[in-house]
């Protein structure tokens, strides 16, 4: 039990994958005064086809979790990161992500351009998005987040 450690003043949840959240973890964040009401959760995308390519949980799981966290943890601040230009990402899938960012209104958000890494499954996927499009999509996400705050 981390909260029992004398001298430990606070605990912050960083890089928390959506699939690892349990009811007991949510309860602990909500009730333990040492746990910061801040979660850094790297969502990477929201479109189901892109998420499937990334081996991530589907949108419904993610949205349900996000709404549950906001409803059960008063004052929660959420930070996330997204990848723009993942292989195969279409204009429509990018629009889906932009609309999600605009509607969910994260307190903080980072956006990164996809970059190939030799030896990874994603580097071998077809339909690699050109670098200029990746950058433009990232810039749009950042701009939308700046409007939010």
pLDDT in tens, 14-60: 999 998 899 999 999 999 999 999 999 999 999 999 999 999 999 99
First to last CA, the chain: 35
Q: What percent of the chain has pLDDT over 70?
A: 100
Q: In which band, very low, low, confident or very high, does the pLDDT at 81 lie, cut at 50, 70 and 90?
A: very high
Nearest one of 32, 81, 33, 75 to 56, comparing CA atoms: 81
Q: Which residues contact 146 (CB under 8 A, 6 or more apart)?
A: none
What is residue 33's DSSP assignment? T
What is residue 57's DSSP assignment? -
Q: What is the pLDDT of residue 5?
A: 86
Q: Give the domain ranges of the chain.
A: 51-117
Give the number of other CB atoms < 10 A from CB of residue 149: 8
DSSP 3-state of 48 = helix
Q: What is the pLDDT of residue 99?
A: 98
How much is the pTM? 0.91
CATH assignment, 51-117: 3.30.750.200
Q: What is the pLDDT of residue 6?
A: 87
Q: What is the pLDDT of residue 48?
A: 98
Q: In which band, very low, low, confident or very high, does the pLDDT at 1 lie, cut at 50, 70 and 90?
A: confident
Nearest one of 53, 51, 79, 64 to 23, comparing CA atoms: 64
Query: Distance between CA 51 and CA 53 in Å, rounded?
Result: 5
């Amino acid at each position: 039990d981390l909260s029992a450690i004398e001298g430990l003043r606070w605990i912050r949840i960083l890089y928390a994958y959506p699939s690892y959240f349990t009811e007991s973890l949510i309860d602990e964040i909500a009730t333990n005064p040492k746990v910061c009401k801040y979660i850094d959760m790297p969502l990477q995308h929201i479109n189901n086809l892109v998420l499937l390519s990334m081996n991530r949980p589907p949108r419904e799981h993610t949205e349900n979790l996000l709404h549950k966290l906001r409803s059960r943890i008063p004052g929660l601040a959420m930070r996330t990161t997204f990848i723009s230009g993942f292989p195969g990402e279409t204009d429509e899938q990018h629009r889906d992500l932009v609309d999600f960012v605009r509607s969910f209104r994260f307190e903080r958000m980072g956006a990164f351009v996809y970059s190939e890494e030799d030896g990874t499954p994603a580097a071998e996927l077809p339909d690699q998005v050109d670098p200029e499009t990746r950058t433009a999509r990232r810039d749009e996400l950042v701009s939308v987040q700046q409007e939010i705050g």
